Structure 1
Amino acid sequence: MAKWCKIYLLIFLLTINAACSSSPDMQKKAGTSETFTPAQKVKILFLSISDSDVRENIRENYIKANMEKEMPDIEVEYDLGGGGQDYASKLKVYNSSGNMPDVWFSEQNLSAVVIASGNALDLAPYIYKWEFDKKFTEKEFIMPDKNGRIYSVQSGNDRFTTPRLWYHKDLFKKYGIQVPATYEELLKVCGQLNEKGIVPISIIGRDGWTLNLHLLQTMIMSEDPQVALDMLNGATDFTNPVIKRSLERIRELVLAGAFPKNAVNIGYEPAINMYTSGSAAMLAAFSWELPKLEKLSPDTDFMPWPSSRAGTFTKDAVQYWGAPLSGYMVWAKTKNPEAAARFAMYCATQDALYYNIESKAPTMLNTGVRIENTSVLAKKNLEQLDMAEIKVPSIWSAAFNTRTSAEISIQNSKLLTGRYSPDEYIRVINPLWIENAKEIREQNCDTH
């Protein structure tokens, strides 16, 4: 994992020093349409995530806005699938029916099921035909599987995306609150904020979202990052004392009033708005929210997640989002595989353009955009990510299969009520995880 430090730094420097500007002409060069001659319009059904401002912005202001110029031969019908478990359920229904959208975005825990069902198109022939693989600054990111197949394409921004604990500097200063460095100090700060009538930490509670995607893993890593790595390799289970203590700490935060009282019902945007409106002092969310938070709350900063064990420094070990099979996929039985494959690569490129232009963030897919005028906070975020000695992929996206991820959403939702014990949680989830871990070990054996 340590090698990612050097890789990330190199990618960041290459992106910053790219020769092209972000002019409108750049968007054409970044796509795949230069190698295709427009003909009669081909209809594509696209299942799109639609649960956040980021995904809405990408779809409306990049994918839709550039279609006529970049893909004049394609007519897209947009199926807005929501997000979280709603999106997962919709994709599962499509997969079970065998009648899929032509193109969709999938996280790895859903991708594996679609691939096993024979519903995913191998994109490798099209990727190599149009040399799309050469657009990536890190070739490992678009490597084929052991059978030479590539089932998904994405921007590669995920490698630069990490969960952060954001906070209002002005509010902390107003009440004389010190930034907590330990879990015990965090509990104390939550108590101080509650006394002032301020929600300590806003989270996306619906379907256990924040716990699912990063908080449980973050809490594990705040005590022992090796346990998170063991989870990724299927080498431990939920009875591990570190994992049990992590669940206990989350429940303790719930009972201490660290999260909103109705957190289990709070969706994505309401959770972000609770922070940007000043109703919450802190926000547990990914770094992809940075541009929005800076714009709406200029006093925003982030802190390393407070350590749960003496000698564990959370700056040294960070989680990053994403997994090899996360990305845009194409239905194996689509009537127009070439057009659908081009559209999938186009979507990945538009994602990258959004992150390069709007977020001023690097991606592994090189769009030719020169990133300039990066904010102090964005630089700090990337520098800390770069300097971390241990970088751990998301357990949720890289390790959990669909059964485990679906059940853990239920368990995390129950944990957020404060009336559900870690022992009950472990008793339900561990049998599923043991089977999941076995699959991981078998896959690792096949790979090596």
Structure 2
Amino acid sequence: MMTTTQRSAALFAATAAVALTLTGCAGASGGGDPTDVNPDGEITAREISWLLSRPADGGVITAMEQIAEEYAEENPGFGLNLITTPDRPSYIQKYETLAAANKLPELFDTDATPFAQKLAGQGRMVDIDLLLEDLGLDGEFREAALNYQRFDDGSLYTIPFEFQLEVFWYNADLLAEAGVEIPATLDDFAPMCEALRAQGITPIALDGQDGWPLERYMAYYPFRMAGPQYVQDLKNGEASFSDETGRAAVEWLYGLGQAGCFQEGFSSTGYADAQAQFTSGRAAVYNIGTWELGNLATEALDPAVRDAVDYFTLPTIDGAVTADNEYVTPSGIGMAVNAATYDPLVRDFLAYALERYPEVYAASGALSPTTGVETTIPDGATPLYARAVEQAETVGSAIAMPWDTQLDPATNTRLQQELTLLVQGDSTPDEFIETMDATLAENVGD
């Protein structure tokens, strides 16, 4: 039986092999013209496939299954085959392996990662800016939803199907018990945590098991201090963790750990358990997106907690270069269109689906990536639900990008590991910076 270390080494080796294979065929044609978004020919119904990484019972898949059934009624013989791998690491390995073998299906999920940008550079993904313009839908999408999907050069090769706000949910009663108010700045977090700890209250519930929630905190200080450009420069080797911005972020996170901001044993706490700590009144703050509105802004919450729940958006810092209404506003993993298999049928289905999708998706209570459609507030929702929906209309254009969608896999994995050690106090800011700058130097350009 393989040990955890052996399995990790094997995964890294497989990922590296895929990356080398992809790099080796960098000059290869994808088999279609990424700019020919309205190809000539008859629409011949057949089954097409979508390789995706989304919850099987989630709003996106539910809406698209309904739309595909409607389309099939008008186009007998059509079918949408969903190839689902909800576990993101497993999905990425499958996606990159298929890409290296030139076996990606008609549609496939991807973040705007360096790997995806290589695919686009090889002409293997349809230009979505051109497609939306051709379909007359370019003005329908939220600017922030499209910007989240763009590569560093501003090009767009994936379609958003979601729109979320990531906020800090808090228990007003617990903050009042500790005699503190919601943080006005990021530098107010540590004092807030110390005051809550003094009252025996867990300050912040964190899903440390999955890595990305703690990594979100790493993104906050740089975004307020230097804007979204910092992580782009970091992954391109034009910035480092030892820079003023990077060091400020590292020291801020180290300070959160020293102040006891997160629950004991946070590194082994999973998603559901972290949320339960907040909804049961055992933790005062919980950082999560509006995809959890149905669980946090609902009358079904424990009455002892329900009326105390509220939220605030990402606090600022002194001298911030980003606005208060600019924070993490993701539009989720995007859907890319394979240029090699793009034909009149795929175009016609996408035209139908993208026209119908906003109405169907918003009816489920979700925020649509488009404007001009009203989200249905579900029965039993608290006023926070409608407030969050309204707030989505006022977000700014700059986005605090999640770093796990920006950094190369090897750097990202090491960052998540080192962040846990830093916050636990098992490494110092200087040790963290030295390790991560060496990791960056090793992986930039891979």
Q: Fold conserved (TM > 0.5)?
A: yes
- Aligned residue among 115, 122, 131 for 2:120: 115
- Aligned residue among 119, 133, 136 for 1:131: 136
| Distance (whole Å) between structure 2 residues aligned to residue 146 and residue 239 of structure 1 | 22
**Residue identity opposite 1:225 in structure 2:** M
Question: Structure 1 residues 150 and 302 mapped into 2: Cα distance closer, same or farther (>3 Å)?
Answer: closer
Q: Give the aligned partner of residue 4 of structure 2.
A: none
- Matched residue SS, 2:326: strand
| Distance (whole Å) between structure 2 residues aligned to residue 208 and residue 133 of structure 1 | 35
Matched ranges for 1:40-439 at <5 A: 40-50=45-55, 56-72=57-73, 73-109=77-113, 110-116=115-121, 119-122=124-127, 127=132, 130-133=135-138, 135-136=140-141, 141=146, 151-155=157-161, 158=163, 161-173=164-176, 176-183=179-186, 185-194=188-197, 197-212=200-215, 214-221=216-223, 224-226=224-226, 228-232=228-232, 236-295=239-298, 296-297=300-301, 298-299=306-307, 300-306=309-315, 310=318, 316=324, 318-322=326-330, 327-334=334-341, 337-341=343-347, 352-353=358-359, 356-359=362-365, 361=367, 363=369, 365-366=370-371, 369-371=373-375, 376-377=383-384, 381=388, 391-394=398-401, 396=403, 399-402=406-409, 404-430=411-437, 433=440
Unaligned runs of 5+ in 2: 1-40
- Matched residue SS, 1:285: strand
- Matched residue SS, 1:320: coil
Question: Structure 1 residues 360 and 419 mapped into 2: Cα distance closer, same or farther (>3 Å)?
Answer: same
- Matched residue SS, 1:319: coil
**Residue identity opposite 2:166 in structure 1:** P
| Distance (whole Å) between structure 2 residues aligned to residue 344 and residue 432 of structure 1 | 41
**Residue identity opposite 2:99 in structure 1:** N
- Shift of residue 386 of structure 1? 6.9
Question: Structure 1 residues 247 and 139 mapped into 2: Cα distance closer, same or farther (>3 Å)?
Answer: closer
- Matched residue SS, 1:79: strand
**Residue identity opposite 1:49 in structure 2:** R
- Shift of residue 312 of structure 1? 5.2
| Distance (whole Å) between structure 2 residues aligned to residue 420 and residue 351 of structure 1 | 48
**Residue identity opposite 2:218 in structure 1:** L
| Distance (whole Å) between structure 2 residues aligned to residue 273 and residue 67 of structure 1 | 36
| Distance (whole Å) between structure 1 residues aligned to residue 144 and residue 254 of structure 2 | 41
- Shift of residue 226 of structure 1? 2.5
| Distance (whole Å) between structure 1 residues aligned to residue 150 and residue 191 of structure 2 | 49
| Distance (whole Å) between structure 1 residues aligned to residue 152 and residue 270 of structure 2 | 39
| Distance (whole Å) between structure 1 residues aligned to residue 327 and residue 186 of structure 2 | 18
Question: Structure 1 residues 166 and 78 mapped into 2: Cα distance closer, same or farther (>3 Å)?
Answer: same
Question: Structure 1 residues 79 and 371 mapped into 2: Cα distance closer, same or farther (>3 Å)?
Answer: closer
Question: Structure 1 residues 371 and 274 mapped into 2: Cα distance closer, same or farther (>3 Å)?
Answer: same
Q: Which range is displaced more, 167-176 or 99-108?
A: 167-176
Question: Structure 1 residues 239 and 147 mapped into 2: Cα distance closer, same or farther (>3 Å)?
Answer: closer
- Shift of residue 329 of structure 1? 0.8
Q: Which range is displaced more, 168-177 or 282-291?
A: 168-177
Question: Structure 1 residues 343 and 270 mapped into 2: Cα distance closer, same or farther (>3 Å)?
Answer: farther
Q: Deviations over 1:368-417 (max 9, x none)?
A: 53357697535655777777778344162775355544443443344454
Higher relative contact order (CA 8 A, sep 6+): 1
- Shift of residue 294 of structure 1? 0.5
- Matched residue SS, 1:105: strand
Q: Indicate if the aligned counterparts of 1:153 and 1:345 stay in contact, CA closer than 8 A.
A: no
- Matched residue SS, 2:97: helix
Q: Indicate if the aligned counterparts of 1:106 and 1:329 stay in contact, CA closer than 8 A.
A: yes
**Residue identity opposite 1:316 in structure 2:** D
- Matched residue SS, 1:166: strand
- Shift of residue 200 of structure 1? 1.8
- Shift of residue 124 of structure 1? 6.4
Q: Deviations over 1:127-158 (max 9, x none)?
A: 45543435446599499999998532224x54
| Distance (whole Å) between structure 2 residues aligned to residue 275 and residue 341 of structure 1 | 45
Q: Indicate if the aligned counterparts of 2:421 and 2:427 stay in contact, CA closer than 8 A.
A: yes
Q: Deviations over 1:236-275 (max 9, x none)?
A: 3321223213212223323433223332233444433332
- Shift of residue 107 of structure 1? 0.9
Q: Indicate if the aligned counterparts of 1:165 and 1:302 stay in contact, CA closer than 8 A.
A: yes
Q: Indicate if the aligned counterparts of 1:162 and 1:286 stay in contact, CA closer than 8 A.
A: yes
Q: Indicate if the aligned counterparts of 1:207 and 1:412 stay in contact, CA closer than 8 A.
A: no
Question: Structure 1 residues 338 and 239 mapped into 2: Cα distance closer, same or farther (>3 Å)?
Answer: farther
RMSD: 4.5
Q: Deviations over 1:107-126 (max 9, x none)?
A: 11142143345543445675
- Shift of residue 39 of structure 1? 6.0
Q: Indicate if the aligned counterparts of 2:166 and 2:313 stay in contact, CA closer than 8 A.
A: no
Q: Indicate if the aligned counterparts of 1:207 and 1:413 stay in contact, CA closer than 8 A.
A: no
Q: Indicate if the aligned counterparts of 1:45 and 1:102 stay in contact, CA closer than 8 A.
A: yes
Question: Structure 1 residues 66 and 280 mapped into 2: Cα distance closer, same or farther (>3 Å)?
Answer: farther
| Distance (whole Å) between structure 1 residues aligned to residue 154 and residue 253 of structure 2 | 42
**Residue identity opposite 1:226 in structure 2:** A
- Matched residue SS, 1:274: helix
- Shift of residue 230 of structure 1? 4.0
| Distance (whole Å) between structure 2 residues aligned to residue 38 and residue 356 of structure 1 | 29
TM-score by length of 1: 0.68
Q: Indicate if the aligned counterparts of 1:180 and 1:189 stay in contact, CA closer than 8 A.
A: yes
Q: Indicate if the aligned counterparts of 1:305 and 1:314 stay in contact, CA closer than 8 A.
A: no
- Shift of residue 186 of structure 1? 2.9
